[in-house]
Amino acid sequence: MKIKWLGHSCFLLTAASGTTLLTDPYDTAAYRDTLLYRSLDEPPGMSPDVVTISHGHADHGNVEALSGTPEIVSTPRPRRAAGFNIRGVEAFHDAERGALRGDNIIFLIEADGMTVCHLGDLGHELTPEQVGAIGSPDVLLIPVGGNFTIGAAEATRVWQQLSPAITIPMHYRNDKCLFKIDGYEKFTAGKPGVETPATSEIELVKENLPSSPKIIVLEPAN
């Protein structure tokens, strides 16, 4: 499986069969001064087979920018789409059970013998019930910037709760995201196995996953 970070919480997953799944497409027009990633509808544009939407905010649910007729997955109901097995775990965008920013869906995406967990805009530490429902993902896509999501300390505890082989930070401040959130460095500080490969994409094979946890900081493709 190939995993490419397009920026913010948006990843393109490409299965060995060639089918594609896009997570949380962002809308740069809605955040013209603070979200500077290349628009998803710029040539050659994005035409995934499946799209998962963790919640309806504009920086996560811009399906209008996509071409083609992708299957849109915005509920936790288990399903199979374009070769991906997808199921959701209900969560919240804040620590007040959604009172501040609403609901959030954690998506478990299975293909090529691996499970990728996309936490969306998770705003709280996981309950034991949520940990049990998620299980042990191979790859964890985790927000680390704080303010609108969990920050470094909470993200560390979630990382410890789930114990993935590969962790990829997302939703943090950088040259193309000027939100009032932290960079990834607070999350990675002091942790072993941190890699910064200066690429937007990695390719993973189940049999070759590391025995010791790794945190891989990708460069945004957009």
Return the CATH number at 151.
Answer: 3.60.15.10
Residue 43 has pLDDT above 90, yes or no: no
When pLDDT is cut at 50, 70 and 90, the band that residue 158 belongs to is very high
- Residues 6+ positions from 116 with CB-CB distance below 8 Å: 1, 3, 13, 108, 109, 110, 137, 138, 139, 141
What is the span of the domain harbouring residue 48? 2-216
Give how many domains the chain has, as a whole number: 1
pLDDT in tens, 102-152: 899 999 999 999 999 999 999 999 999 999 999 999 999 999 999 999 999
When pLDDT is cut at 50, 70 and 90, the band that residue 79 belongs to is very high
- Residues 6+ positions from 208 with CB-CB distance below 8 Å: none
| 66 within domain boundaries | yes
Instruction: Tell me the whole-structure pTM to 2 decimals.
Output: 0.96
Check: CB of residue 86 under 8 Å from CB of residue 70. Answer: no
| 16 within domain boundaries | yes
